[in-house]
A and B are shown apart, each in its own frame.
Chain A
Amino acid sequence: MLLRGGIDTLSALPKLVVKILIAVLIGGFLGATLVRFAPGFGIDEEELDSRLSAQSIQALRQTRAEDANIFVFYFHYLSRLLRGDLGISRTLQRPVRQLVAERLPETLKSVAAGMALGWAAGFLLAVAVVMSRAWYLDLLGSLLVGVLLCLPAAVLALLFVLAQAPARLLLGLIIFPKVFRYSRNLLGRSSALPHVLTARAKGLGNMRVLVWHILPTAAPQLLALLGVTVSFAFTAAIPMEALCDMPGIGQLAWKAALGRDVALLVNLTMIVTLVTLMANSASEMMGKTFAASEA
């Protein structure tokens, strides 16, 4: 069964890769359009250097004249992108690739820590609520989640700064309510299925019912949620890193937005989109493999 699931997954792999490539290509075109029409495109600070002669300034303009044609610009932009050249950041005057290489690991560490914490707390609480069927636990969880869902990530970040709490935990608090709410509903629905009720009636212990009957039914959707939470984590990384002064790509995106560095922003958005697309596709594939092996 597991083998069949694996084969199905492998056959779906090329389709997923094509989907991601198309997304990157379209994203590249959209990004190039944004950069091309951004305020300040085609203007270079070098032109203000009084030491340059008129001929030098003319030569500088000539090099950029090619990009005035939008199709030529698209071609140059995409060919540079395919070579891994993401351009130069206008505000920081450094190659975007270098900036991303320096800062991405920091964000990935925060995202990983946040995911681990958010999932551990949210999922375990959901399991405790569903398995114990204790109303007070459900009420407590719902209240906590209700308050957390009403707080913008930026306010949580400010509160973390005020409380001098470790900022990496913040993403966990943002992911926790989503995981808890979705898992509780999903596990609750699974635990009300006839075969689960029969298993309970036959006297199976809570742990066995959970592991053998509830979780396998809910697993594909839980795996899909895993991919979605990656996107949540990256989005929440902007306020967290900006306000808690963490040198990740969230802070870089914020600085780029304040400095209107569209080229940098577009590249960062594309990188995060690519990461989230891959995470979503991976979780989708895992879910499908699991569902196929269960069938």
Chain B
Amino acid sequence: MNWARTAAIVFLLVVSAACLLANFIAPAPYAHQFRDEPDAAPSRQHLLGTDDLGRDRFSRVLYGTRVSLLLAPAAALLSSLLAAFIGGIAGFAGGRVERCVMAGTDLFLSLPWLFLLITVRALLPLNVSPIVSVLITFAMLGCLGWAGAARIICADARSLSRSDFILLARASGSNGFRLFWRHLVPNLKPVLYAQFWISVPVFILTEANLGILGLGVAEPLPSWGSLLRELEGFSTISGQAWQLVPLVLFILVVSSFHLVLTKEELAI
């Protein structure tokens, strides 16, 4: 399946480049309203038509994809680092520390993900700017999404800490933080890498769920959640198939993320 992986990476690179260049590619700012053209069909000026407020859908897809493609990996990085810190220390320390940390992690894992997210979201201020709301949403995903990865990293750190090279490092006088940082953490990289790529599509899907429920990124800033929310107004009778473009792009991007990891990397 190497060809599928290559195609997925190329596709993600193309989409990322298009989104990063949104300021130059997009025909209009994402919040600009063409008040005379609400719900317009695709045309030269509006490649994917306009939404019910007259905003250019193509521009919104570009900017919305940029938000998700930049911030979901950032949230995944945050959760992977938290998992590395918590799971790594637990596995390295072993004994009671490991048991206590893993009991906490198990408790965290038994909390239903979406219930937890909307509870924490409800505690956060709502009267914030769209930029702050997007940062809050993804920071929350990053801060709450570490538990599953921490379990795997803990198991890996435990087996690594019993390996010969760690024993040799200990015998050479290396201990404590130096042993953890210089010898253990670099060897956790493959598992961290896998956890990072697994987390990205999970966070994109979760943001979309929150956005559709009206608990994600605030308008007028577009995100995949708000773009997919437009499907509420979709009608099979009107036959406005272009409204489905964000959904198709979403499926392609998420499935590309699923294909990025090889079977060997997933098995780590």
Residues of A participating in the B interface, judged by any CB pair closer than 8 Å? 23, 26-27, 34, 37-39, 146-147, 149-155, 158-159, 161-162, 231, 234-236, 238-239, 242-243, 253-254, 256-258, 260-262, 265-266, 268-269, 272-273, 276-277, 280
Task: Check A155/B111 contact, CB under 8 A, given A38-B123, A258-B214, A262-B122.
Answer: no
Chain B: minimal CB distance from A41 (Å): 11
**Other A-B pairs beyond A147-B255, A154-B209, A235-B113, 19, CB < 8 Å:** A23-B107, A147-B251, A149-B254, A149-B258, A150-B251, A150-B254, A151-B251, A154-B213, A234-B112, A238-B118, A242-B213, A243-B212, A257-B213, A260-B123, A260-B126, A265-B119, A272-B115, A276-B110, A280-B110
Asked whether, in the complex, the Cβ of A231 is within 8 Å of the Cβ of B112, the reply is: yes
Residues of A within 8 A of B209 (CB): 152-154, 239
Contact B212 A257 (CB under 8 A): no
Complex CA distance for A153 and B202, rounded to whole angstroms: 12
Q: B236 contacts which chain A residues (CB < 8 A)?
A: 162
CA distance in complex: A254, B115 (Å): 9
Contact A273 B111 (CB under 8 A): yes
A32 to chain B, nearest CB (A): 13
B66 to chain A, nearest CB (A): 19
Residues 207-234 of B, flagged 1 when their CB comes within 8 A of A and 0 if not, give 0110011110000000000001001101
Distance in angstroms from A107 CB to nearest chain B CB is: 12
Contact A34 B114 (CB under 8 A): no
- Whether A155 contacts B231 by the Cβ 8 Å rule is yes
Interface residues of B toward A: which range? 35 or more
> What 0/1 pattern do residues 237 to 250 of B give for CB contact below 8 A with A?
00000000001001
Establish whether residues B123 and A39, one from each chain, have CB atoms under 8 Å apart when the complex forms.
Answer: yes
Contact A23/B110 with A257-B118, A262-B119 known, Cβ cut-off 8 Å = yes
Let me know if B123 and A162 touch, CB within 8 A: no
Q: Is B121 an interface residue (CB 8 A)?
A: yes
Q: Is the CB of B213 within 8 A of A158?
A: no
The reply on B205 being an interface residue by CB < 8 A is yes
A272 to B110, CA, bound (A): 9
Residues on B lying within 8 angstroms of A by beta carbon are: 107, 110-116, 118-119, 121-123, 125-126, 201, 205-206, 208-209, 212-215, 228, 231-232, 234-236, 247, 250-251, 254-255, 258
Contacting residues, chain B, for A266 (C-beta < 8 A)? 119
Cross-chain contact B113 with A256 (CB below 8 angstroms):
no
Contact yes or no, A238 B114, CB < 8 A: yes
User: Do residues B119 and A155 form an inter-chain contact, with CB atoms below 8 A?
Assistant: no
Whether the pair A272, B112 counts as a contact (CB closer than 8 A) is: yes
Which residues of the other chain, A, contact B208 by a CB distance below 8 angstroms?
152, 154-155
Residues of A within 8 A of B206 (CB): 152
Question: Inside 8 A of A37's CB, which chain B residues have their CB?
Answer: 123
The reply to whether B212 and A239 form a contact with Cβ atoms under 8 Å apart is yes
Q: Is A150's CB under 8 angstroms from B255's CB?
A: yes
In the assembled complex, the Cα of A270 lies from the Cα of B204 at a distance in Å of 26
B201: chain A residues within 8 A (beta carbon): 150
27 contacts between A and B (CB under 8 A): A37-B123, A39-B125, A150-B201, A150-B205, A150-B254, A152-B212, A155-B212, A158-B228, A161-B232, A231-B110, A234-B115, A235-B114, A235-B115, A238-B114, A238-B118, A238-B213, A239-B114, A242-B213, A265-B115, A265-B122, A268-B115, A269-B111, A269-B112, A269-B116, A269-B119, A272-B112, A276-B112
B228 x A155 contact (CB < 8 A) = yes
Complex Cα distance, B254 from A243, in Å, reads 22
A23-B110, A269-B119, A277-B110 known; A152-B228 Cβ under 8 A: yes
Q: A146-B258, A150-B254 are in contact. Are A254 and B213 (CB under 8 A)?
A: yes
Choose one: B123, B234, B255; the contact of A146 (CB below 8 Å). Answer: B255
Q: Whole-angstrom distance between the alpha carbons of A10 and B254 in the complex?
A: 44
Please measure, in the bound complex, the distance between the C-alpha atom of A83 and the C-alpha atom of B171, giving whole angstroms: 57
- Whether the Cβ atoms of A150 and B119 lie closer than 8 Å is no
List the B side residues contacting A268 at CB < 8 Å: 115
A151, A155, A268: most-surrounded residue (chain B CB, <10 A): A155
What are the residues of chain A within 8 A of B111 when measuring CB–CB? 27, 269, 273
Alpha-carbon gap, A257 to B215, bound state (A): 8
Q: Which residues of B contact A254 (CB under 8 A)?
A: 118, 213
For the complex of A and B, the 6 pairs showing the least CB-CB separation, nearest first, are A154-B212, A257-B118, A150-B254, A152-B208, A269-B115, A235-B114
Residue of B nearest to A277 (CB): B110
CA–CA, A39 and B127, complex, Å: 12
Partner of A257, one of B112, B122, B254: B122
